[in-house]
Structure 1
Amino acid sequence: MRKTIVTNQGLKIVVMMAMLVVIFAGIKSAADIIVPFILALFLAFVLNPLIVLLEKVRVPRALAVMLVATVVICVMVFLTSTLLVTLNEFARTLPQYRGIIVEKLRQYDAYFPQGELTFTPEQLAGYIDPAATLNLVSKLISYLSNAMAGLFLLLMTVAFMLLEVTQLPYKIEQLSDDPGKGMANVQRALDSVTRYLVIKTLISVVTGLAVWALLAFIGVRFAFLWGMLAFALNYIPNIGSFIAAIPPIIQTFLFNGVSDGIMVTGGYILINVIFGSIIDPKILGRGLGLSTLVVFISLIFWGWLMGPVGMLLSVPLTIVLKIALEPTAAGHKIAILLGDGTPHR
């Protein structure tokens, strides 16, 4: 009898895993359609607290959604246009960089004893291809220009999602066999994801502003570009903030000098320690219920499945997946593997 129960449980887990594989394969094949929808959904999570706040001061929900959407459009248009101007300026200066890089590397070569280095500054500069970087920047400019065209459609989707929020409890009650439990799980997922996204967005904004202020104070070119990069990559757990620091640090050492480079490196370390190692964990705490290893693996998995958007939203997507698996017998075991090992009472 016990053997039969164990076999049935194992079969349920295999079936659950097979279902997940089919679902993920469908997401992968339909990524062009699903990714914008997922992005709109999580943007709605971030904006909904503002709608609720306006409703508390007796602003009708439809008007509140319209006001918030208008503000978001204005902010996005301003930031995107400013970023496009900065990227165009960055692209124009790239062809001039090879000669400057060789000269700077010659200066750094003087710090090493004669004969210690087995390569010349010219050889090292040969590995630097401004044309490849220019091509990457051109693709990014084209992507942002196309994104401006899709911005209105994205925000329209977000607006309709925000208008539908009030009808969500009734729909879940009609679909669920156990309305009370189903709504409780959905509410827990909404609360967890909203809390994470709102807090992470605020921390990312402050991080981007801190980086921009640091670089502008030191006199590093394209400070706005690197601040935007720090804001965007701060959503990527564990490695995003470190990746965002590499280009401006290299640029500062090459074009501003050693002293400025050391100041920028120290500033980035200080910002990452304060926001990434102190404020972020203290505010978010262990309330996410995910292990550190799972967070890192989810970054790789969702990035492979959905591209850059998947990397940015890897943590909330994993939270939703974990909560969705918990109510079922087979899924509960998978949810335990995704968890942080803390017993829940």
Structure 2
Amino acid sequence: MLSRGLRILVGLAAALIVLAGVQALSDIVGPAFLALTLVIAVGPLMTRLSRRGAPTWVVVAVPLAVVLLVLAALGLAVVVSVARFTALIPQYAAQFQHLLTEVQAYLATFGITQAQATKLFSGIEPGELVQAAAGLLSGLLGTASATVVIVLLLYGMCMDAPFLTEQLRGLASSRRDIVEALTTFTRQTCKYLLVSTLFGLIVAVLDAGALWILGVPLPLLWGLLAFITNFIPNIGFIIGLVPPALLALLDSGVGTMLWVIVVYCVLNFIIQSVIQPKFVGESAGLSVTITILSLLVWTWALGALGAILAVPLSSFVRAILLDSDPATRWATPLVAGKSSD
């Protein structure tokens, strides 16, 4: 019989193998779990329709339509915003060159020659920013195949949801542990999505309003970016800060850029990195430390989608590996960061 230490090592080795497999199948695993998360998000709507005696096709069609409309609106907003950003960047070519000249002059005070500075910044051109934005737009349009997979999975999961719910209720007596674990996972995921969406909307409105007051171009785009990056734990506000700060620098100078940084640090850091993690961690059943580790692990395994889905993914792993087994449930408080009830 293996000692406890060896069992832990075997478990860690198995986890690494599974994560490597998830990374290899990221094009399938990522969209599949996104579809599952979206179906869980509209689960309360399904339950309410079912309790009111709605026909099965209504219970399936209405939540599916809600999800598809939200995804379509969000995708359209992102594509239009990136297209506008792509068209805007060339207007700042002169400001960009002037800024580089000032930076080179400043570096010269530290003994860095103009030739060295020119070589350092030789690869930075406004055209590069345009190409990056165009590449992002192409990437969004290139996800059409993934979108088809997500829509198909959403349809299948919505169709199966009423049946699976009834089956889980039937297994509640014979498989109580696993049913309770999955039920807790769905409930906590709904709370997490509600909290993240609420805080994301607050941050997006405040950021967009502040940028509009400061005169930064495309405030609605940066508000949308702040909303999306809000689902990335802890570092989301930094990702959402960089583009508007750089655009503020090119458009209005260093003073406006500094004001953008101050506003984001006050609003986003306090809300997203101080207040929200407490509510997000509790709603998902994860401690702040586990939330940060989840971000690192799932971003490595699934890329950007893994960063957005990091908390629900770890909550699902907790439900399967810890909550569903009485032999491992003792570790739940260590992951949740609080005593179990």
TM tier relative to shorter chain: 0.7 to 0.9
Q: Secondary structure, in 3 states, of the residue corresponding to 1:343?
A: coil
Which residue pairs with 2:181 in the alignment? Answer: 185
Determine whether 1:221 maps to 2:217: yes
Change beyond 3 A, Cα 1:25–1:89: same
Which residue pairs with 1:81 in the alignment? Answer: 76
Q: CA deviation at 1:311?
A: 0.9
Say if 1:86 and 1:225, in contact at 8 Å, map to a contact too: yes
Determine whether 1:338 maps to 2:335: yes
Say if 1:325 and 1:335, in contact at 8 Å, map to a contact too: no
Between 101-110 and 269-278, report the one with greater CA deviation.
101-110
Q: Secondary structure, in 3 states, of the residue corresponding to 1:290?
A: coil
Say if 2:89 and 2:130, in contact at 8 Å, map to a contact too: yes
Deviations 1:310-329 (A, max 9, x none): 11111111122122222447
Determine whether 1:209 maps to 2:205: yes
Match of 1:309 among 305, 310, 321: 305
Amino acid paired to 1:300:
L
TM-score (norm 1): 0.82
Q: CA deviation at 1:186?
A: 1.3
Deviations 1:25-84 (A, max 9, x none): 322222222211111111112222233344455544532442343344344334433432
Change beyond 3 A, Cα 1:330–1:29: farther
Between 238-247 and 48-57, report the one with greater CA deviation.
48-57
State the alpha-carbon separation in 2 of the partners of residues 77 and 302 from structure 1: 25
State the alpha-carbon separation in 2 of the partners of residues 13 and 328 from structure 1: 16
Q: CA deviation at 1:252?
A: 0.5
Determine whether 1:256 maps to 2:279: no
Say if 1:13 and 1:330, in contact at 8 Å, map to a contact too: no
Determine whether 1:62 maps to 2:57: yes
State the alpha-carbon separation in 2 of the partners of residues 16 and 172 from structure 1: 28
Q: Secondary structure, in 3 states, of the residue corresponding to 2:143?
A: helix
Q: How does 1:1-40 map to 2 (within 5 A)?
A: 7-40=2-35
Amino acid paired to 1:45:
I
Change beyond 3 A, Cα 1:61–1:264: farther
Determine whether 1:92 maps to 2:87: yes
State the alpha-carbon separation in 1 of the partners of residues 40 and 300 from structure 2: 23
Determine whether 1:235 maps to 2:231: yes
Match of 1:49 among 22, 44, 50: 44
Deviations 1:216-269 (A, max 9, x none): 333322223222221111111111112211221121022123443343223212
Deviations 1:246-294 (A, max 9, x none): 2211210221234433432232123214532565246446454433332
Change beyond 3 A, Cα 1:108–1:316: same
Q: Secondary structure, in 3 states, of the residue corresponding to 1:237?
A: coil
Q: How many residues align?
A: 338
Query: How large is the Cα RMSD of the aligned pairs?
Result: 3.4
Q: CA deviation at 1:196?
A: 0.9
State the alpha-carbon separation in 2 of the partners of residues 140 and 242 from structure 1: 19
State the alpha-carbon separation in 2 of the partners of residues 59 and 260 from structure 1: 54
Deviations 1:75-125 (A, max 9, x none): 433443343233223223434544311324556899x79946856697475
Deviations 1:156-195 (A, max 9, x none): 4223323322322454477799412221111111111221
State the alpha-carbon separation in 2 of the partners of residues 332 and 14 from structure 1: 19
Amino acid paired to 2:222:
W
Match of 1:200 among 191, 196, 201: 196
Say if 2:230 and 2:237, in contact at 8 Å, map to a contact too: yes
Which residue pairs with 1:151 in the alignment? Answer: 147
Q: Which runs of 5+ in 2 are unaligned?
A: none
Percent identity, please.
26
State the alpha-carbon separation in 1 of the partners of residues 254 and 171 from structure 2: 63
Say if 1:51 and 1:61, in contact at 8 Å, map to a contact too: no
Q: How does 1:106-185 map to 2 (within 5 A)?
A: 115=109, 118=112, 123=118, 125-126=121-122, 128-148=124-144, 150-172=146-168, 178-185=174-181
Say if 2:245 and 2:260, in contact at 8 Å, map to a contact too: yes
Which residue pairs with 2:268 in the alignment? Answer: 272
Change beyond 3 A, Cα 1:99–1:232: same
Deviations 1:102-149 (A, max 9, x none): 324556899x79946856697475452334433332222112213356
Say if 1:189 and 1:319, in contact at 8 Å, map to a contact too: yes
Change beyond 3 A, Cα 1:180–1:205: same
Amino acid paired to 1:50:
L
